């Protein structure tokens, strides 16, 4: 249940794009260029080629703050701001449905006709 709950926070863990007989395994086989025009906060550079899945799972967070602990602390600050009645009605099924909606939105943001093999993305 812990692993499932963690995956539900990562939209590309909820879907995969299928093009005829080819599947992209939630963006893991979709090679992208992470188009970053500025260095990360620690001045490190990003890989030119990565996967669509990696951009969602790690690269965007690394680019934004480069500190997973800080990202977690910021998320924890937000938890008390959620209305208790909204959280009371939540179920794993609702989490999965929301995750799937977010993943669909991510794929819909890709340019029309994007092949499963390559795309240029950026923050």
Is the pTM higher than 0.85? The answer reads: no
Count Cβ atoms within 10 A of the Cβ of residue 29 and give its class: 0-12 exposed, 13-18 middle, 19 or more buried.
middle
How many helices (H) and strands (E) the chain has is answered by 6, 5
d(CA 44, CA 72): 21
Per-residue pLDDT of the chain (123 residues; tens, 9 = 90+): 666 666 677 777 776 666 556 666 777 777 777 766 556 656 655 556 677 778 777 777 777 666 677 777 887 887 777 666 666 777 878 877 888 888 888 777 777 666 555 444 444
């Amino acid at each position: 249940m812990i692993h499932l709950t963690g995956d539900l926070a990562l939209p590309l863990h909820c879907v995969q794009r299928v093009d005829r007989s080819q599947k992209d395994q939630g963006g893991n086989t979709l090679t992208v260029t992470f188009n970053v025009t500025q260095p990360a906060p620690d001045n490190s550079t990003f890989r030119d080629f990565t996967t669509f899945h990696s951009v969602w799972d790690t690269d965007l967070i690394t680019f934004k703050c480069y500190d997973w602990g800080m990202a977690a602390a910021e998320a924890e600050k937000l938890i008390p701001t959620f209305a208790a009645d909204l959280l009371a009605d939540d179920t794993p099924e609702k989490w999965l449905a929301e995750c799937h909606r977010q993943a669909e939105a991510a794929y819909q943001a890709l340019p029309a006709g994007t092949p499963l093999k390559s795309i240029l993305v950026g923050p």
